Structure 1
Amino acid sequence: MRPGARRAPLAGGALLLALALAGCSDSGSDSDPGSGGGSGPKLSVGGAYMPQPLAADMAAGFLTVTNKGGTDDTLTGVSSALAEKVTLHETVDRSMREVREFPVPAGGRLRLASGGSHLMFEGVRRKPEQGEKVPVELTFEKSGTLTVRLPVKSATYQPRER
């Protein structure tokens, strides 16, 4: 038997197995079993930014998640190579507290804005400069992970209301 003669059938079998498994995976379709066949979440992110941090080891991030789908979703986590940890915070009665998740209602939006709910970057590894774009991964209960880039704006930046 010539060298490698047995490898071709094994490689072909591995390819068929991979294709079969791919056919069984969730393709991210719009239907959601719990929604009675309606459309699932359809998320988009806009208005994202990070004010240039004043502190060397902390920063904040703001954005709006819009859900044009027929099913609620939930923001359950955030990560970024910029920081050791990124947490979700809400501000209630001028007091900030960490929360585990934020709902994103069907046909609605989650707004993270200065003075309210926001992303808190803790243990910032290096201070980002104005004009830079910081990659951030947002993890949702149903929609999986979305990667967004937060442009670093001046520390006094105020977005226009829409």
Structure 2
Amino acid sequence: MIPAGLGIVLELVALFAVPWVTFSSGTLSVSFTFLDLLQQSDRVKFSSDLATSYVQWFGFLLTALTMAAVLPWTLGALRTKRSAFLLSSIRRKPLTHTNFWWYRTVFAGRATLMLLLHAGGVVLIFARNFSLLGLGPYLLVGGALLVVAGAAIGPRKGTEMPH
């Protein structure tokens, strides 16, 4: 639970609070947050339309999907057969101690997919010049890695599962 929760917090901080682009020219230093990139996305020439889409909506969507897809699992919301079915979309394997490994694998796989999509978005944005990378992309990818770790660990101890 702690790694996934911390990872989500890092992703949100990366998207809303820290610089994504930092560059200096002599004594002048300039930084842009993700929100600054969003506001300037119609004027900034990104490497592709996919990079523009990532800045305009896909980065936010991925973070929201990560929260919706992984946090219920790591917080222990999957406790009954019905909640496991509704929140996980896993239909063939009931949530039991025997199948716990399967749920860990599925949720870690989902988190890994979102990590790869976030990393791809960062690569698309900075394809022309990786030297401009600020702290934001590192926090975003680091947070996504923590979410993968939290999903692989699973819910906190004491979560009751049906037998």
TM-score normalised by the chain length of structure 1: 0.24
More helix by share: 2
TM-score normalised by the chain length of structure 2: 0.24
More strand by share: 1
